[in-house]
A = this chain, B = another copy of it.
Amino acid sequence: MPKIAGIVLIGNEILSGKIEDANAAYLCRELRVLGVDVRRITVVPDDVDVIAREVAAFSRDYDVVFTSGGVGPTHDDVTIAAVARAMNVPVVRHPDLVALLERYYKGALNDAKLKMSEIPAGAELLADDGLGFPTILVRNVYVLPGVPEIFRKKFEALRERFRDQPFHLSNVFVRIGEGSLAEYLNALLAEFPSLLLGSYPEFSNPEYRVKVTLESKDRDYLEQARARLLERLPGDAVVKVT
Given contacts A74-B181, A147-B201, contact A16 B40 (CB under 8 A): no
Question: Chain B contacts of A42 at CB under 8 A?
Answer: 40-43
Q: Are A17 and B43 in contact (CB under 8 A)?
A: no
Question: Chain B contacts of A19 at CB under 8 A?
Answer: 200
Q: Are B72 and A18 in contact (CB under 8 A)?
A: no
Interface size on A, residues (CB 8 A): 64
Q: Are A31 and B13 in contact (CB under 8 A)?
A: no
A216 contacts chain B at the CB level, 8 A cutoff: no
Residue in B113, B149, B181, B196 whose beta carbon sits within 8 Å of that of A203 in the complex: B149
Q: Are B25 and A17 in contact (CB under 8 A)?
A: yes
Q: Are B28 and A178 in contact (CB under 8 A)?
A: no
Question: Chain B contacts of A189 at CB under 8 A?
Answer: 75
| Distance between Cα atoms of A115 and B186 in the complex (Å) | 13
Question: Chain B contacts of A28 at CB under 8 A?
Answer: 14-17
Q: Are B15 and A38 in contact (CB under 8 A)?
A: yes
Copies of this chain present: 2
| Distance between Cα atoms of A185 and B113 in the complex (Å) | 14
Smallest CB gap from A42: residue in B: B42
| Distance between Cα atoms of A37 and B200 in the complex (Å) | 31
Smallest CB gap from A211: residue in B: B18
| Distance between Cα atoms of A115 and B24 in the complex (Å) | 32
Q: Are A43 and B40 in contact (CB under 8 A)?
A: yes
Q: Are A179 and B40 in contact (CB under 8 A)?
A: no
Q: Are B32 and A112 in contact (CB under 8 A)?
A: no
Those of A1-60 within 8 Å (CB) of chain B: 9, 12-21, 24-25, 28-33, 37-45, 50
- Contacts beyond the supplied A15-B39, A15-B40: 8 A-B pairs with Cβ under 8 Å: A17-B28, A18-B200, A21-B25, A74-B181, A74-B199, A105-B179, A115-B182, A149-B204
Taking Cβ atoms with an 8 Å cutoff, the residues of A that contact B are: 9, 12-21, 24-25, 28-33, 37-45, 50, 72-76, 105, 110-113, 115-116, 147, 149-150, 167, 178-183, 185-186, 189, 196-201, 203-204, 213, 215
